[in-house]
Structure 1
């Protein structure tokens, strides 16, 4: 189980005022709205989530790095757990023409407003009980999803991720912290997290789930 960073540079490209996030609006009320994962979370005001999540090509370098690292090729089946609007999956189809993509997300709004080119391959569902047979996919990814579950849910989701993937080509990323400053920043900024763990604790959770793929983190520096 290797720790690999595909995301931090993209994460760092967004500037954040952590303290303002807490004092400018009622953070608890905003979090309640965000956890519905509806319009307000994706395309509403910034205090509820993304503040407008639109395609801008930012996921292309991530797809390129993943495709190169895992040797993805035409004909491979790729699953994105927590796919949102399907932007990463779309990039995989551009980077590796001929791949078959599938996305699943808890958000009906996200799926209904998915990128048109991949929208037919997106579905609403729960990552703790994936509707796929064992070993259905050549590569399984999950970016920024499992920290939105309580620890027991994250463990089940990781077990499901292990079950539906073939071999070791699996990768999940979650929000985490390495020190007290990053922990405070994460607590200030997050809206949807239920699991707040250090990288070492996430490693332990993954092992308990029987997960054998790779993983990575983003940190709020």
Structure 2
């Protein structure tokens, strides 16, 4: 298991007003909207989610780095657990023409609004019950998704990632290293169920038998 810095640069480039997230509108109200993972979360107000999640090419650098690090070649298979609107899958196709991609997301809205280039390869599904055969994928990734699961589903999802992978695995989840980062995370998050320190995350990984790579994003 290796620590990888794929997503941190994108995460750190975003400016966040933590206090506004809890003072401008009832945080519980907007969280109830966000956890539906429907329009409000993806394309509604910034208070309830992304504030409009549109393709801008920012994930291409992540796709390029993963293709290089994991030795992805045409014909290999990649699964994105929590694929959203398919932006990273699209960038994988451009970064390595001939690669096979697949994605799952719990959000019907996200799947319906997935980019046309990868829409045939995605489906609504649950991370804890992946609809694929054992050892089917050369690379399985999950970015900013698994921390949205309760611990029993999180454990199952990690086991499922191990099951469907025959090669490399990578996930990125939210964490905190001190009280300030914990408070900022709690202020900012809308859908997170798992609040863990890096040490606790390692315990969770070990319990599930997850041996792939990982990355944490922190709210500094």
State TM-score, norm by structure 2: 0.99
Shift of 1:2: 1.2
**2:199 maps to what in 1?**
200
**1:116 maps to what in 2?**
116
Shift of 1:152: 1.5
Distance in 1, matches of 2:173 and 2:152, equals 15
Shift of 1:178: 1.1
Unaligned runs of 5+ in 2: none
Shift of 1:151: 1.3
**1:30-179 pair list within 5 angstroms:** 30-167=30-167, 169-179=168-178
Shift of 1:6: 0.7
Secondary structure of the residue aligned to 1:62 is helix
Secondary structure of the residue aligned to 1:40 is helix
Distance in 2, matches of 1:156 and 1:55, equals 31
**1:213 maps to what in 2?**
212
Shift of 1:5: 1.5
Q: Residues 119-149 of structure 1, C-alpha deviation per residue, up to 9 Å, x if partnerless? A: 1111000000011110010000000000000
Shift of 1:194: 0.5
**1:181 maps to what in 2?**
180
State TM-score, norm by structure 1: 0.98
Distance in 2, matches of 1:20 and 1:44, equals 17
Moved over 3 A (4+): none
Secondary structure of the residue aligned to 2:216 is strand
Distance in 1, matches of 2:40 and 2:150, equals 22
Shift of 1:200: 1.0
Shift of 1:184: 0.7
The number of aligned residues is 220
Pairwise CA RMSD? 0.6
Distance in 2, matches of 1:124 and 1:159, equals 19
**2:11 maps to what in 1?**
11
Unaligned runs of 5+ in 1: none
Shift of 1:100: 0.2
Secondary structure of the residue aligned to 2:136 is coil
**2:20 maps to what in 1?**
20
Distance in 1, matches of 2:151 and 2:68, equals 31
Shift of 1:153: 1.2
**1:190 maps to what in 2?**
189
Shift of 1:179: 1.1
